[in-house]
Amino acid sequence: MSTNHVAPPTGNRPGYDRLPRPLVGLLIGLLAASLLSFVLPEIALDTSLADGIVRITDTAYWKQMPLLCVVVLIILISRPGLTARRRSGEAGAIALAMLIALAGNALLNENVVKPAFGVHRPNIVDLAESGALGSDITDSDAFYAVGDKEARRELMGEYLPAVESPPLSDLVRAHWIHETGYAFPSGHSTAAVTLAILMAALGYSWLRGWRLRMMTVLVPLWAVAVVYSRILLGVHWEADVIAGTVAGFGWGVAAFFVIRSAFDQRATS
C-alpha cells in the first residue's frame, strides 16, 4: 500500500501537535546568536565588506526573498517518495504559509508594531544630532516629524550625499536613504528567522541527507547573517534584532503547526 510521504529518520518524527526535538536546540542557538549582537565590532562603512553586508541584508527584503522562498520550497517538495497529489498539496500549503507569515508579518510590523513603539534608528539619531541633516533637524524627533517614510527618504537623499562622517559607500548610502522607518523590531531579522524556523522544522520532520542539512544548517546560518547585518550597517539597535528573532520564532512555529497539522494529523492519529 503506497504512502503519501517519506518517513523521517527514526526517532525524529514529531506528532503534528509538537515541535521536532532538535528544533528546540536551534531556537536556543538562534536566540544566543542574536544576543551576541551586543559584541559585534564596528566596521568601516565605505568598504567592499560593507557592500557585501548590504547584499546579505537585501536577501531578506521583499524584492529578493521570494526567490529564496521558491528555492527552499523546491528543495522540500522535490524529495523522493511523494505522490503527485502530495507534492502539489505541499507546494500550495507551504507557499500560502510563507505568504501569510512573511508578507502578513511585514505589513503588520511596518504599519502597526513599529509605529506603536516609535523607536528611532541609531544611524538617524547620530546624523540628526550631528547636524548632518540640515539646520532644521536638530534631533531624531525632528527627523521623524518630517512626514511619512517617502518624505524622510527625500530629506536623506538631499543631505546624505554630502555627509563625510561616517564615510559611506554608495550601496550603504542608498540603504540608509531607503531605511527611514522606525527600528523596533527589526523586520529583516523577523523575516529571516521566520523562514529559518519554518524550513528547519519541516526539514527535521520530512527530510534526510543534503536536504536536511540545507534546511537545518545553511538556512539558519543565513538568518544569523541577516540579523548581524542590521547591526553592522548601523540601522538597528541590538534590542531590535533580538525582538525580531523572538518574533520570527513565533511566526515560524505557527506556520509549521498549520502545515504539519494539515498533512500529518491523520497519519499520527
pLDDT tens, position by position, 138-155: 999 999 999 999 999 999
Boundary of a domain, candidates 181, 196, 214:
181
Residues 163 and 37 occupy one common structural domain: no
- Average pLDDT, rounded, for the chain: 90
Output the pLDDT for position 264: 62
Average pLDDT over residues 80-97: 91
Which pLDDT score, from 0 to 100, does residue 267 have?
A: 45
Residue 12 falls inside a structural domain: no
pLDDT at residue number 266: 44
Whether residue 55 is found in the same domain as residue 138: no
Lowest mean pLDDT among 85-94, 110-119, 148-157, 246-255: 85-94
Q: How confident is the model at residue 38 (pLDDT cuts 50, 70, 90)?
A: very high
**Residue 42 pLDDT:** 94
Domain count, the chain: 2
What does the pLDDT average to over 92-107? 92
Compute CA distances 85 → 71, 142, 252, whole Å. Answer: 20, 57, 25
pLDDT tier for residue 265 given thresholds of 50, 70 and 90: low
Amino acid identity, residue 168? L
pTM (2 d.p.): 0.89
Q: pLDDT band at 240, cuts 50/70/90? A: very high
Q: Is residue 153 part of a domain?
A: yes
User: Are both 131 and 154 inside the same structural domain?
Assistant: yes
